[in-house]
Amino acid sequence: MKALLTLTCAGQFMVLLDNTIVGAALPDMQQRLHTGLTGLQWIVDAYVLLVAMLLLSGGVFADRFGRRRVFLAGVVVFTAASVVCSLAPSIGWLIAGRVLQGVGAAALSPASLALLAAAYPAPRERVRAIGLWAGFSGIGLAAGPLAGGVLAEAFGWPAIFLVNVPIGAVLLLAGLRVLGESRNPSAPPIDVPGTVLSVAGVGAVTYGLIEGGSRGWTSPVILGGFAAGLVLLAAFVVVEGRVSTPMLPLRLFRQRLFTVSNTAMVVVGFALMGSSFFFSQFFVYVQGTSVLVAGLRTLPVSLAMVIVSPYAGRFAARYGFRVVVSIGLALAGLGLLALGFVHADTGYGNVWWRLAVAGIGFALTMSPLTGAAIQAVSPQEGGLASGVSSTTRQIGAVLGVAVLGAIVHTRESGGASFGSGLNSAFLAAGAVTLACAVFTGLWLSAARTPRGVRAEQSGGQAVSERPLTAPPSRPTS
């Protein structure tokens, strides 16, 4: 049992490490691959887009066809894709490798959690196991900037992908020996039309946002991309409303608590990932540091999140998730606004606290927002609600990199410096986050309060709409 726990945690660690390690190496990629801001955006969004759109289907796939099988298949695809990325001779090959990495991560991550849930049927033991799983996720996020800076500085950007190869090899060999197969015979079928339409629709909109700055916002190809995206997303909504087993049941959004919490999660992904995309670039291109120093200087964000995240659920259980989320979003927004006023001559002593404030704010939002989404649905749909919450955060991340990158590109096209473009992007992210703080302060509550308090535990953290006055209910999978 301990071996299974170790393997699943290591798999999630590898996926989360890849989320932040790439950001630290972006300046080196830009220099060695001779690409611009648009290319860097695709390097990040090609991965995040596939993870966002395939995450829900990956969980269903694992339940239906075998969690062990899907987990190991995800490991193989992710590891092989990492090799493709490391050997990529051009930006096109690197983006293709990142797409494959996204497919592997979308299978590996939900399957690892499903294996844990099946191996630990007792609620109390399951909570402890998921807590360790989430803890390894935090370690992966925190280690990314430092590991990326060290590897890129010493060996060049391909090393950040090669580090996945030994991890993946160990996971595969050990998984074949240790992991037992499990599946859910009553799992719903895969929603193929919904999955295809969601990937194509969000992908088309993302294309328009990323390429619009260089091709021109009124060019036929960009307008066509936006139009195609809207048509595909409208078709997705129609299909999801008609199929018997949709990947995204639209009826869940009739609950105000579910809708508001997921709307806020989109903003969290937008502001967090969109701003993080530029952190290393700010230190390298604006303040003139090395890639290694830049990776070290971005640590306050991830460290603040790792330290504060375990307490967010407890605060929400005591004070209510509306209070905690609104305060968290306000802190994150203020931190990003403060970053909008840094420049080339700003000393690091006057920069790190702005990053830390933003990190603390984001840490206070994610666990309570997921808990709010879970509380809005029936206990049997808690796993689905959690998956939707992760998906909306990833969708926000895709849009954040695309939109904030478009702001920087547009400012540069108008004659502004890269640093001025970054200031505008940070200010925009901060303003959106502060507006969302007001939004959640007004609306992040159930339309009607159920009798008693329903609480959901995730990773040992309880969340509820109001302070708990009774022991929390048992967690569900």
- On whether residue 174 sits in a domain, the answer given is yes
Domain-ending residue, one of 149, 180, 211: 180
Q: Identify the pLDDT of residue 1.
A: 67
Residue 452 CB-half CA count within 13 A: 6
Of the CA atoms within 13 Å of residue 427, those in its CB half-sphere come to 11
Does some domain include residue 162? yes
One domain, residues 210 and 174: no
**CA neighbor of 291 nearest in space, from 29, 15, 20:** 29
* Residue 109 within any structural domain of the chain: yes
Whether 47 and 127 share a structural domain: yes
Phi, psi at 282, each rounded to 5°: -65, -50
Residues 134 and 253 in one domain: no
CB 274 within 8 A of CB 400: yes
Does residue 66 form part of some domain? yes
Judged by DSSP in three states, 131 sits in helix
What distances in angstroms separate CA 14 from CA 128, 170, 227, 373, one per listed residue?
20, 12, 37, 27
In the three-class reduction of DSSP (H, G, I as helix; E, B as strand; rest coil), residue 42 is classed as helix
Identify the bridge partners of residue 462 per DSSP, sorted by sequence position. Answer: 457
Closest CA to 133 of 160, 162, 102, 111: 111
Predicted confidence at residue 116, as pLDDT, reads: 81
Regarding whether 142 and 16 lie in a shared domain, the answer is yes
The answer to whether 8 and 116 have CB atoms below 8 angstroms apart is yes
Q: How far is CA 425 from the centre of its chain?
A: 19
Co-location of 34 and 140 in the same domain:
yes
CB 51 within 8 A of CB 394: yes
Assess if residue 451 is contained within a domain: no
DSSP category for residue 216: -
Number of Cβ atoms within 10 Å of the Cβ of 265:
27
Check residue 286 and report its DSSP letter: I
Rounded Cα gap, residues 267 and 252, in angstroms: 19
Same domain, 264 and 327: yes
Count of structural domains, the chain: 3
Write down the pLDDT at residue 317.
86
- Residues 464, 215: Cα–Cα separation, whole Å: 47
Q: How far is CA 242 from the centre of its chain?
A: 29
pTM exceeds 0.85 for this model:
yes
Same domain membership, residue 379 and residue 276: yes
Q: Which two tokens stand for residue 287?
A: 């303040």
Q: How many beta carbons lie within 10 A of that of residue 120, not counting itself?
A: 19
Token digits of residue 124: 């109390």
Give the per-residue pLDDT at 41. 95
Residues 275 and 413 reside in one and the same domain: yes
Q: Are residues 310 and 434 located together in one domain of the fold?
A: yes
469 domain-assigned: no
Residue 476 lies in a domain: no
In whole angstroms, give the CA distance from residue 134 to residue 140: 10
Q: Which three-class secondary structure state does DSSP give residue 345?
A: coil
β-partners of residue 457 are 462
pLDDT reported for residue 140? 76
CA pair distance 446, 448, nearest whole angstrom: 5
Question: Does any domain span residue 185?
Answer: no
Q: Residue 234: which domain range?
A: 192-246
Domain CATH number, residue 168: 1.20.1250.20
Sequence-distant (6+) residues with CB within 8 A of 200 are: 228, 232
Same domain flag for 300 and 240: no
Angle between helices 321-339 and 256-281 (to 10 degrees): 30
Residue 127: its pLDDT value, please? Answer: 67
Per-residue confidence (pLDDT) for residue 184, from 0 to 100? 80
Final residue in a domain of this structure, among 180, 201, 216: 180
Q: What is the residue-level pLDDT of the chain in tens, covering all 477 positions? A: 678 888 888 888 898 888 889 999 999 999 999 999 999 999 999 999 999 889 888 888 888 888 899 999 999 999 999 999 999 999 999 999 999 999 999 999 888 888 887 888 777 777 677 767 776 777 777 788 888 999 999 999 999 999 999 999 999 999 999 888 888 877 788 899 999 999 999 999 999 999 998 888 999 999 999 999 999 999 999 999 998 889 888 999 999 999 999 999 999 999 999 999 999 999 999 999 999 999 999 999 989 988 998 888 889 889 998 999 999 999 999 999 999 999 999 999 999 999 999 999 999 998 899 889 988 888 778 778 888 988 999 999 999 999 999 999 999 999 999 999 999 999 999 999 999 999 999 999 876 544 333 433 333 333 334 333 333 333 333
Query: Do 281 and 398 belong to one domain?
Result: yes
Give me the helices (H) in 34-122, please.
37-65, 67-87, 91-119
The structure tokens listed for 291 are: 């890639």
Do 287 and 432 lie in one domain? The reply is yes
